[in-house]
Amino acid sequence: MTSMRKASVLTAALLLAAVTLPMGQEGAGAQPMAKPLNQFTIGDLFPRIDAGLDQTAATWKTASAELVQKSTAREKNVNEGIVAVKKKAEQLKADAKAAQKSKDFTAAGTAEGKLKTEEIVTKVLARLQSLAVQQREAADAWSKTANAMEAYVKADKEFDPYRAKGIAKPESGAGAAGDNRLDAAGVAAFKKQTMSMEELGKSFALLGTEMQGMASNRLKFLSELEKGGHIQTPPPK
């Protein structure tokens, strides 16, 4: 669970970088806006805002792939543990019943004591199973966000050639060659870039929801451990 906590912190840090870096670049490279209409370009209206997202996407893809692998393995281990503990509990129940039948009350008491311990382990594993599922789902969401980020960067770069286009109508008699406005191909590239931005936003939202759910579940688990006496209760203030 420590590795998942570190991964969650890393996710939050990278998410913050992904959101703030674009804003920082736009501010640093701002162009004067008080100019004639024929000097305005599409780039003035829609500047590049990826600001390092290509590197961030690559980092996220690598980290999320590792996290998906580890969280999937953890879920498998927890499920296998539940099966093994249930099997052991069934055997202890049989041992306790057999000991009672043979009037061996010492053996019966020992078996019943072990059974209570296994029941606690079963409850712990059940909570871990719920967390393991959430961890894997968060890892999947992280991976999807990395892919969406990569797709956005690609679409944004494809729109680059069109940012030099102007927005002023050509003068009378200039002809088609004098029209530097965004054409159909440019509009298509812009729409693709915008749609990829929307998908990236949705991916961020899903990742945030998954992480919030996991955090809430962890706090509930901690509270249950405290109530069960499995962790030290802090002294009252």
pLDDT at 99: 87
The full set of domain ranges for the chain reads 2-24+40-164+181-227
- pLDDT for residue 147 is more than 80: yes
**Dist CA 86 CA 101 (whole Å):** 23
- pLDDT for residue 68 is more than 60: yes
- pLDDT for residue 60 is more than 60: yes
In this prediction the pTM is 0.75
The listed range with the strongest mean pLDDT (16-25, 66-75, 99-108) is 66-75
Read off the pLDDT band of 215 (50, 70, 90).
Answer: very high
**Dist CA 64 CA 200 (whole Å):** 16
The listed range with the strongest mean pLDDT (7-11, 144-148, 221-225) is 144-148
Read off the pLDDT band of 170 (50, 70, 90).
Answer: confident
**Dist CA 51 CA 82 (whole Å):** 47
Residue 14 structure tokens? 């990278």
* Helices marked H in 29-52: 42-45
Residues sharing a CB contact under 8 Å with residue 116, sequence separation 6 or more, in sequence order: none
More confident residue, 93 or 10: 93
The amino acid present at 11, given as its one-letter code, is T
pLDDT at 174: 63
CATH topology of domain 2-24+40-164+181-227: Substrate Binding Domain Of Dnak; Chain:A; Domain 2 (1.20.1270)
- For the chain, helix (H) and strand (E) counts, in that order, are 5, 0
